[in-house]
């Protein structure tokens, strides 16, 4: 059997569950702090107490999760995007593509695509570190909570609209590199995450005295054996992943913890990850 045929056969027989160490936060009795330099490719979470735990991650292909139930969902969606480094295209035509997708998929009355763009590049990529790119996130986290979610939306909508309408924040996530990627994203079923699992971190971005830095709140997670992890193996560029980051309707799932991880089933044929996620707001 030729090498390419052997590689193709191996991909067909990959396990449906992989055992992978994920980087959680360690539970502490104080509020951790992290200090981040702008546009840094270093570990942004170096100051956070960590707990490395090996967990099973299920291949979700063939299943149909719902962003209002599990907290995430995947859809076929073609795009003209070919380069995650092309910031004008990301902020222009690609954002317009996402705007229409957010309207069509959620059925919301109003959609907003923000300038919050995260272009992520595997350290194995030939041109790493790329300009205005970041490494895949190495820590289990969620981007918003009950305080920071509404505050983020309030930058774009009026107080009256916030009060009178349901709104949600999504990460609209797409991979550009071909499968199998060396690093991809895994997602925790929001129904298996509890308030007790969360631990907040104060992040200070910039240089110089702490009072001159931009402060943000990071939501990390401590390990629980209840957490159920999954991923969409071998994502393609014509797929769009919706990750619910916040929902003003408490009856819907949204505490979607997630992180990047190295897929051990990818094998020697793995391709360095290139992905981009942009925050979108849906208002019903």
For the segment 241-276, what is each residue's pLDDT rounded down to a tens digit? 999 999 999 999 987 899 999 999 999 989 999 999
Report which DSSP code applies to 268. Answer: G
- pTM here is 0.90
Q: Are 167 and 235 in contact (CB under 8 A)?
A: no
E strand segments, the chain: 17-25, 33-36, 50-59, 72-76, 110-121, 141-142, 167-175, 183-188, 198-205, 214-221, 229-231, 239-247, 258-262, 274-283
SS3 readout for 20-43: EEEEEECCCCCCCEEEECCCCCCC
* Predicted pLDDT at 7: 45
* Predicted pLDDT at 45: 62
Helix (H, G, I), strand (E, B) or coil at 91: helix
How far from 190 is each of 93, 206, 240, CA to CA, in Å? 32, 32, 19
Tokens of 257: 């913890």
* Predicted pLDDT at 203: 83
pLDDT in tens, 98-136: 999 999 999 999 999 999 899 998 888 877 766 678 888
Please identify which residue in the block is written with the tokens 């139930």: 69
pLDDT per residue as tens, the chain (284 positions): 454 454 444 556 899 999 999 999 999 998 888 887 665 545 556 678 899 999 999 999 999 999 999 999 999 999 999 999 999 999 999 999 999 999 999 999 999 999 989 999 888 887 776 667 888 888 999 888 888 999 999 999 998 888 999 999 999 999 999 999 999 999 999 999 999 999 998 888 788 888 888 888 888 999 999 999 999 999 999 999 999 999 999 999 987 899 999 999 999 989 999 999 999 999 99
Q: How far apart are the C-alpha atoms of 58 and 55, rounded to whole Å?
A: 10
Report which DSSP code applies to 128. Answer: P
């Amino acid at each position: 059997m030729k090498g390419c045929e052997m590689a193709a056969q191996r991909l067909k027989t990959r396990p449906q569950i992989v055992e992978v160490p994920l980087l959680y936060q360690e539970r502490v009795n104080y509020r951790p702090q992290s200090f981040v330099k702008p546009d840094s490719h270093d570990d942004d979470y170096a100051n956070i107490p960590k707990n490395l735990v090996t967990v099973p991650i299920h291949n979700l292909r063939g299943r149909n999760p719902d962003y209002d139930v599990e907290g995430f969902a995947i859809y076929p969606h073609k795009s003209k995007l070919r380069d995650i480094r092309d910031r004008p295209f990301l902020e222009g035509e690609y954002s317009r593509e996402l705007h229409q997708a957010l309207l069509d998929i959620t059925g919301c009355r109003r959609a907003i695509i923000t300038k919050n763009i995260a272009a992520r590049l595997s350290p194995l990529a030939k041109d790493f570190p790329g300009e205005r790119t970041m490494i895949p996130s190495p820590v289990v986290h969620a981007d918003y909570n009950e305080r920071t979610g509404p505050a983020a939306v309030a930058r774009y909508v009026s107080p009256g609209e916030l009060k009178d309408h349901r709104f949600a924040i999504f990460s609209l996530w797409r991979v550009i590199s071909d499968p199998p990627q060396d690093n991809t994203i895994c997602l925790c079923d929001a129904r298996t995450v509890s308030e007790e699992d969360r631990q907040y971190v104060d992040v200070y971005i910039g240089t110089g005295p702490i009072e001159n830095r931009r402060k943000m709140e990071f939501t990390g997670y401590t390990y629980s054996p209840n957490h159920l992890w999954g991923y969409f193996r071998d994502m393609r560029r014509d797929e769009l992943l919706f990750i619910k980051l916040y929902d003003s309707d408490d009856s819907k799932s949204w505490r979607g913890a997630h992180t990047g991880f190295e897929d051990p089933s990818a094998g020697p044929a793995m391709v360095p990850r290139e992905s981009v996620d942009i925050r979108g707001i849906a208002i019903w």
